[in-house]
Amino acid sequence: MKRLFGILMFSTGLLVSSQVFAETANIAVAANFTKTIEAVGKVFEKETGHHVKFSFGPTGKLYAQIRNGAPFDAFFGADERRPKKTIEDGNGVADSYFVYAQGQIVLYSAKFPVKDQPLDVLKAAEFNHLAVANPKTAPYGERAVSYLKSKGLYDGVKSKIVNGESIAHAFQYVVTRNAEIGFVAMSQVVDPQSPVYGKGQYWVVPQTDYKPINQGALITKRGKDNEAVKAFMKFIKTPKAIEIIKQFGYNVS
């Protein structure tokens, strides 16, 4: 009986110990990385006992929130500029910065033959609306607009562009057919759970035609002593996490 009691106490001690040392990290994440980081987060929580809470939005908006004191322990941007600016502002831990993924832009349509004739479709501009994330706040939108301008296509489509606040909102335009065509993130169309998976067509914009979308992450000043966020930043660099990231259509160097 004493032995059984001892085992129960030991087991209880382990449970209490894991609960005591488990922490929660609040992480700001660029909208394009939503599904990917949620998948990584599930594996992380299962393996470590720590918890992660994600808040999604346009990179520019998340940056502004952190600058204004939002309680985030880490910041995963859709570019390098805003995370690096967070460090310059004194709100980020400099040596925690790294590029966690490289995004890819695709032109998607459920109606037009963009897979084989992307430039012809854009030149003809026979669509009513072209979805693009807001270039002022979303790196994917900025790159899409830059691409259109570099190919001399922007003037012919600018009157038909509808801006989503983020790449997630731009994607919703094409999902709901409010836009017949749109520049979205590759991760949004290759995800098996995506509403457009296996439907319509998409064309991967050559990465040589636009500035690389290096997506930077860092621990904020608020999260520098948070064990959960430190563990998460280590975990996302592991082969297991990188495999998940690649499955969602990102490059990882």
**Cβ contact 193:175 at 8 Å:** no
Q: Is 228 within a domain?
A: yes
Q: Is 252 within a domain?
A: no
Q: Is 253 within a domain?
A: no
Pair (130, 222) in one structural domain = no
Q: Residue 76: which CATH number?
A: 3.40.190.10
User: How are strands ordered across the β-sheet holding 161-164?
Assistant: 161-164, 130-133, 181-185, 105-109, 201-204
C-alpha to C-alpha distances, 115 to 21, 119, 177, nearest whole angstrom: 51, 10, 18
Tokens of 77: 């941007």
Helix axes 34-48, 227-235, angle to 10 degrees: 110
What is the predicted pLDDT for the residue at 253? 79
C-alpha to C-alpha distances, 119 to 108, 116, 142, 184, 192, nearest whole angstrom: 12, 9, 19, 16, 27
Count of domains forming the chain: 2
Q: Is 50 within a domain?
A: yes
Pair (80, 150) in one structural domain = no
Q: Is 54 within a domain?
A: yes
Pair (82, 126) in one structural domain = no
Pair (95, 216) in one structural domain = yes
Per-residue pLDDT of the chain (253 residues; tens, 9 = 90+): 545 444 444 444 444 444 446 799 999 999 889 999 999 999 999 999 999 999 999 899 999 999 999 999 999 999 999 999 999 999 999 999 999 999 999 999 999 999 999 999 999 999 999 999 999 988 899 999 999 999 999 999 999 999 999 899 999 999 999 999 999 999 999 988 899 999 999 999 998 999 999 999 999 999 999 999 999 999 999 999 999 999 999 999 7
Domain span including residue 50: 2-102+212-247
